[in-house]
Structure 1
Amino acid sequence: MPSDHYENPLITRYASKQMSQLWSDQKKFTTWRRLWVALAEAEQELGLPVSDDQIAELKAHVDDIDMETANRYERQFRHDVMAHVHTYGDACPTAAPIIHLGATSCFVTDNTDLILLRQSLQLTAQRLAAVIDRLARFAQQHRDLACLGFTHLQPAQPTTIGKRACLWAYDLAMDLAEVEHRIERLKARSIKGTTGTQASFLELLAGDHDKVKRLEHRVAEKIGFQATYAVTGQTYSRKIDAQIVDVLSGIAQSAHKMATDLRILASRKEVEEPFETSQIGSSAMAYKRNPMRSERICSLARFAISLQSSTANTLATQWMERTLDDSANRRLVLPQAFLAVDAVLVLCQNIASGLVVYPNVIARHLNEELPFMASENL
């Protein structure tokens, strides 16, 4: 049946199931609960009154989230984090008093985002590596197949099909290096309090600065990070988001260039993307072999590139320790940037795995220009 509400085509048509699941509500809210468990464990280890039974109860209810109850609380409180604090507390009555102890909302929201950003970057790195591998195989296979090179989209000196594929692969390899750099540089926000001063945790731990530092690093380690950001406001700096989406934009730029080249080559009938036996090129012109996948890459890549300015503007317009005008924008931009680039890379891998080359057409086009090329040496 057709849906009676809008559904994001990045989910329904384009991105992979793996990336979609990373940005799902279930993933987000179970990560919130894992953060509350990590906080409770670390607080107990540093002497705060948190019992083993309370921690066991929290762990037993990490995954069974009553979304109907959470939604009801959110309508009442107009606050998503407090809605889930109460929902978790209903499921864990013994542990309810120590859930979110000393924390602010950004303890769960920002640390969850950093976890999801890292996992999404890791999946993106895998996709990039797969595309580079397929292009490398293609380049090796066609390294000696001479073809006409183009500058200014005009015939120039010869190159080879393999060499041209290396242009695409090298751009993506640079993108992969940037992704890996961002993964390595990501840190936890951990426990920073309402304005980044950790005041609430200093109060909980009787002004013991050393214990607060230990609490910060224990929480970070429990959620998989070896380091924390030294300075934050209420949130981690939105420069982190801008840097990551900048990398995603770079991937989209590289993919757009590759797909555009393939569209030009398809129009010259030299190289084509895979074309299924039952695929229809046009409803009116059945003979057409439209480069549909390459066109889709360009379309999705333009969207991903456009999101770069949004994260830059969000960073630029954060006032003092934070303003909430980042929230709605980030809910849209961060998932969709990853979903769009994921869809682009899935298409790139599919195309690179099945490129069709027409050597006779390539040779004919090259031979037609040979007399003009020879004039360079006259």
Structure 2
Amino acid sequence: MTQTASLSADTPYQNPLIERYASREMATLWGPQRRFRTWRDMWIALAESEQELGIDISDAQLDELRKFRTELNLDVAKEYERIRRHDVMAHVEAYGDQCPNAKKIIHLGATSCFITDNADVILIRDALQLVARRLAATIDAMARFAVEYRALPCLGFTHLQPAQPTTIGKRCCLWTYDLILDLQEVEHRLQTLCARSAKGTTGTQASFLQLFGGDHDKVRSLERKIAEKMGFEKVYSVTGQTYPRKVDAQLLDALSGVAQSLHKIATDVRLLANRKEVEEPIEKNQIGSSAMPYKRNPMRSERICALTRYVISLQSSPAMTAATQWMERTLDDSANRRLVIPQAFLAIDASLVLMQNIAGGFEVYPKTVAHNLAKELPYMETENIMMRAVEAGGDRQDLHERIRVHSREVAERVNAQGLPNDMIDRLKNDPAFSAVEFSTEINPLDFVGRAPEQVDEFIAEQVEPIRKRYAEGESLSVEVTV
């Protein structure tokens, strides 16, 4: 629900991704409370690991750090940042105010990117997991729709021109397969995401080597321990001051891939709505237009196109950032990443919520689908007629040319004069096709090939394993509020 009514006249700009579109779960994940609690998790993990490896840190100091893990004094940190102009040190001092006994060991041996980068990969991991779950839920909803309409013939399109028929269910499988490929890429990004852990100011671990008196084994152990406390099995092999910004570029490539698929599906839905064949769900009291009360606009699909276009446009920023990280690191990545990464996730989250909602409530109009197909079926039948005429001794090239000429004349009759398609009658009266026995009725299912069987095979081979991985029946369901 929007908060417009409660805002005062001098309220600053509100991010629509938070106010209108993204789920609370994703919005909270990227919120300040979650971020700065994760920062404190990193300080605790660092202190615990250092104590375990022999650094003089007491249990009382650790208990004090843990006590204030979630009791954030953000107002104090904000004031320190105003003075210090350094966000991490502002939070070190604010945390130290709450933990006077542990103050001297907070951030011991660490650099700012130990906190920010490790926290970021945790947030990215959790956000990717949410995206994966939303993708799985959307795939499941799409697959159910595909099964229901596996054998409903519809007109196929190439070049957005009438082509060989397919089925509603098979077309939905095309949409779903794109999302499955996206899920595979998101899962790959999750599998290859690593902790930065304890790498030091330029990635050499010099400060930690000094802290442990030149003991390389303890430095390596520190790195492993911190990563494990973060929930990671692996760390990036080498880094500069930050984890490789190539990772962010790959991340946005994956999110952009999801956006591309959702945009394609939503566009198809908009085109089908124009043909009155398939529509997204509409609520009883929903208004399509302030001026035209009769309008039923595909607003969910249109919003998906708007949001996903934004994500696709964000793809270039991390790529440019990765390309311009001089030597061991420059700070021009920071502000860009604060904007791009959270907002890409928020927009993808919102789009997936919408697509799951649409897929779970598609409205199909079989009579309109059949009517639209029937207008074009005589053209489709000509290929079978030509093959039967060839079998009866006809010249394939001559027959092809005759059908082409008839087709042009029929198109003129149908498109310019608004008359029925009389293609079959024309061929019946053409002596070149006299040996052909014409069917009394054209059956649309004769033209869809293996489309129904392909739906069955696709569900079994591609969708069922995803349902098993993501616990069928536990899919996310989120209400679309605007």
Instruction: Give TM class, smaller chain.
Output: over 0.9
Per the alignment, residue 191 of structure 1 pairs with 198
Aligned runs of 1:102-121 on 2, under 5 Å? 102-121=109-128
Deviation for aligned residue 1:318: 0.7
1:118 alignment partner AA: R
Q: Which moved more, 1:367-376 or 1:291-300?
A: 367-376
**Alpha-carbon separation, structure 2, partners of 1:293 and 1:227:** 40
Q: How does 1:194-233 map to 2 (within 5 A)?
A: 194-233=201-240
Q: What CA distance in whole angstroms lies between the structure 1 residues aligned with 2:221 and 2:362?
A: 55
Task: Pick one of 136, 142, 150 that aligns with 1:135.
Answer: 142
Task: Confirm whether residue 342 of structure 1 aligns to residue 349 of structure 2.
Answer: yes
Question: SS in structure 1 opposite 2:166?
Answer: strand
Q: Which residue of 1 aligns with 2:7?
A: 2
Counterparts in 2 of 1:9-28, with a 5 A limit?
9-28=16-35
5 Å-filtered alignment, 1:283-362, equals: 283-362=290-369
Q: Give, as a single letter, the amino acid of the residue that structure 1 aligns with 2:7.
A: P
Q: Report the equivalent of 2:407.
A: none
Deviations for 1:122-168, whole angstroms, at most 9, x for unmatched residues? 00000000000000000000000000000000000000000000000
Letter in 2 for 1:313: M
Match of 1:58 in 2: 65
Please say if 1:79 is aligned against 2:86. Answer: yes
Q: Distance in 1 between matches of 2:383 and 2:241?
A: 64
Q: Matched residues, percent identical? A: 67
Q: Where in structure 2 are the equivalents of 1:26-175 lying within 5 Å?
A: 26-175=33-182
Alpha-carbon displacement from aligned partner over 1:268-303 (angstroms, at most 9, x marks no partner) = 000000011101111111111100000000000000
In structure 1, distance between residues paired with 2:199 and 2:144: 48
Letter in 1 for 2:117: D
State which of 267, 271, 274 in structure 2 corresponds to 1:267: 274
Counterpart residue identity of residue 103, structure 1: A
TM-score (norm 2): 0.78
**Alpha-carbon deviations, 1:153-210, whole Å to 9, x = none?**
0000000000000000000000001111111111100001110000000000000001
Cα distance between partner residues in 2 of 1:188 and 1:276: 45
Equivalent residue number for residue 280 of structure 1: 287
**1:27-85 CA-partner distances (Å, limit 9, x unpaired):** 01010001100000000010011000000000000011111110000000000000000
* Cα distance, 1:223 vs structure 2: 1.1
Q: Deviations over 1:204-228 (max 9, x none)?
A: 0000001100011001101111111
Question: Secondary structure in 1 aligned to 2:291?
Answer: coil
1:320 offset after TM fit, Å? 0.4
Which structure is larger by alpha-carbon Rg, 1 or 2?
2
Superposed CA RMSD: 0.6
Aligned residues: 378
Q: Which runs of 4+ in 1 moved over 6 A?
A: none
Displacement, 1:2? 2.7
2:186 pairs with one of 171, 179, 183: 179
Q: Aligned pair 1:363/2:399, yes or no?
A: no
SS in 1 for 2:135: helix
> Structure 2 regions of 5+ residues with no counterpart?
1-5, 387-482
Alpha-carbon offset, residue 87 of structure 1:
0.3
Q: Secondary structure at the match of 2:156?
A: strand
Helix, strand or coil at the partner of 1:197: coil
- What's the offset of the Cα at 1:376? 2.8
Cα deviation for residue 232 of structure 1 reads: 0.2
How far did residue 371 of structure 1 move?
A: 1.2
Cα deviation 1:208-264 (Å, max 9, x = unaligned): 001100011001101111111011000001011110111000000000000000000
1:156 counterpart SS class: strand
- Cα distance in 2 for partners of 1:25, 1:281 equals 37
Partner Cα distance (2:75, 2:157) in 1? 60
For 2:446, the equivalent position in structure 1 comes to none
